[in-house]
Chains A and B, each alone.
Chain A
Amino acid sequence: MSEVQDSGGEKKKGKKIRAKKHSTHIDMTPMVDLAFLLLTFFLFTTTLSKPKAMPLIMPDKNEVPDPAKETKVDDEDAMTIILSKNNRVFYYFGIKEPKVEQASFDATKPNSLRKAIIEKKKECESRLKAGSTTNERHKVVILIKADKDAKYKNMIDVLDEMNINEVPVYAIVDITDKEIEMISGL
């Protein structure tokens, strides 16, 4: 290139030789390509859904039971939820004369577990207002029991119901033989 310019300069004397002005533009397309490639890569590799935690506090099993400290549950405040195979869930109220009923996890169904919990909660609250219970602290107490065929998902679902319905006192308790017998026929 310089040679050509030299020869050209000899012919046209007097005229100023001007260096050809190149535009300062760079083709950015490959750069953009690369940038977006990296962008997509990082978009796909980042974990967007961070796991959440459900805190669970279990009663201390090793503690020697102290009758003075033990909370006594009134028969009319208690509700027991039993989990079984094939996502079945049962519940009964009270302790003395249990009448087991089957419920559904689906909140839209008429026999949903949520409805039963809400109704029990209301019932306990109205009793508290009427002053028929001697102990003012008493509210609904839910015992959760799972038999050997229950799935972990069901347990989480029930614990979640406790959170949704703001159940103040609930506990996971081992299932008794009597209860296994009660639900076996259903």
Chain B
Amino acid sequence: MAKVKPHRKKPTLDMTPVVDLAFLLVTFFMLTAKFKPDEPLVVDSPKATYDTPVKTENLIEVQVGKEKQVFLAVDNKNARYELINKISESKGLNLTEDEKKAYSVMAAVGVPFNQLKGFLAASPEDRKSIKQPGIPTDSLNNELKEWLIALRFMSNKYVYAIKGDQNADYTAVAQVITTLQSKELKLNKFNLITNLETKK
């Protein structure tokens, strides 16, 4: 009698649903992803229980780093271009079109006016290696105020926020607040950016 051979079947698995799911997730993450811009200043924001999300549209962020360096981050690319155009004109920096474009693609900049032209003229790779000293905010030479005044003249729709590092001295932040409240700017309402902490 012939032996009954069991019919050998390859143990295949139908992968179609897996692929469907995977691609669905890929599409979801691709569409929702907002890439982190290359931030020159690492800010470790303090934790708090406030849970109102920041509206990133038209957000003007004044960043205060660990070593008291102040950086200015303007959300919109067009706004950045308009801003650098104004600053170049008012401070007589004579920036070229390329240098203005270079500014408009950067997320946050913390360079005093006298170093701005040289900084923007450098190649993107070189720029990364340059340590930005921060925008001066002291009362004798308050360049942050001039940046903010230029922004204030551009539009009224901006929302101002301070993003301070938790290890920064409060005096550095207080200087920024004083600048915001100065009589030229009169910004008495602003946001402090924090990270969410679970309620204690």
Give chain A's interface residues, CB within 8 Å of chain B. 25, 28-29, 31-32, 35-36, 38-39, 42-43, 45-47, 49-62, 83, 107, 146, 148-157, 159-160, 163-164, 172
In the complex, given contacts A42-B30, A51-B53, A150-B170, what are 17 additional A-B residue pairs having Cβ atoms less than 8 angstroms apart?
A28-B16, A31-B19, A38-B26, A39-B25, A43-B29, A50-B54, A52-B52, A53-B193, A54-B48, A54-B52, A55-B191, A148-B169, A151-B167, A152-B172, A153-B166, A159-B48, A164-B199
Give the residues in chain A near B186, CB-CB below 8 Å: 60, 62
Whether A151 contacts B29 by the Cβ 8 Å rule is: no
Give the residues in chain B near A31, CB-CB below 8 Å: 15, 19
Whether B26 contacts A163 by the Cβ 8 Å rule is: no
* A157, B48: Cα distance in complex, Å: 7
Complex partner residue of B189 from A25, A57, A160, CB under 8 angstroms = A57
Minimal Cβ-Cβ distance residue in B for A148: B171
Give the residues in chain A near B174, CB-CB below 8 Å: 146
- Ordered by A's residue number, 15 sampled pairs between the chains whose C-beta atoms are within 8 Å are A32-B18, A35-B22, A45-B36, A51-B193, A52-B51, A55-B190, A55-B191, A62-B186, A148-B171, A150-B171, A152-B166, A152-B172, A156-B192, A156-B194, A164-B200
Q: Which of B7-59 contact A (CB under 8 A)?
A: 12, 15-16, 18-19, 22-23, 25-26, 29-30, 32-36, 45-54
Minimal Cβ-Cβ distance residue in A for B173: A152
Give the residues in chain A near B53, CB-CB below 8 Å: 50-53
Q: Which of B139-184 contact A (CB under 8 A)?
A: 161, 163-174, 177, 181, 183
User: Is B90 part of the binding interface, using a Cβ–Cβ cutoff of 8 Å?
Assistant: no
* A47, B194: Cα distance in complex, Å: 15
* A148, B32: Cα distance in complex, Å: 43
Question: Main SS of the interface on chain A?
Answer: mixed
Give the residues in chain B near A153, CB-CB below 8 Å: 46, 166-167
Whether B64 contacts A152 by the Cβ 8 Å rule is: yes
Whether B34 contacts A46 by the Cβ 8 Å rule is: yes
* A178, B105: Cα distance in complex, Å: 49
Distance in angstroms from B132 CB to nearest chain A CB is 20
Whether B48 contacts A45 by the Cβ 8 Å rule is: no
When A59-B188, A152-B170 are in contact, do A49 and B195 touch as well, CB less than 8 Å? yes
Whether A152 contacts B168 by the Cβ 8 Å rule is: yes
Give the residues in chain B near A49, CB-CB below 8 Å: 195-196
Whether B192 contacts A56 by the Cβ 8 Å rule is: yes
Whether A53 contacts B25 by the Cβ 8 Å rule is: no
When A62-B183, A152-B168, A156-B166 are in contact, do A55 and B12 touch as well, CB less than 8 Å? no
* A160, B47: Cα distance in complex, Å: 9
Give the residues in chain A near B32, CB-CB below 8 Å: 46
Distance in angstroms from B184 CB to nearest chain A CB is 10
Give the residues in chain B near A51, CB-CB below 8 Å: 45, 53-54, 163, 193-195
Minimal Cβ-Cβ distance residue in B for A36: B22
Complex partner residue of B34 from A47, A56, A62, A83, CB under 8 angstroms = A47
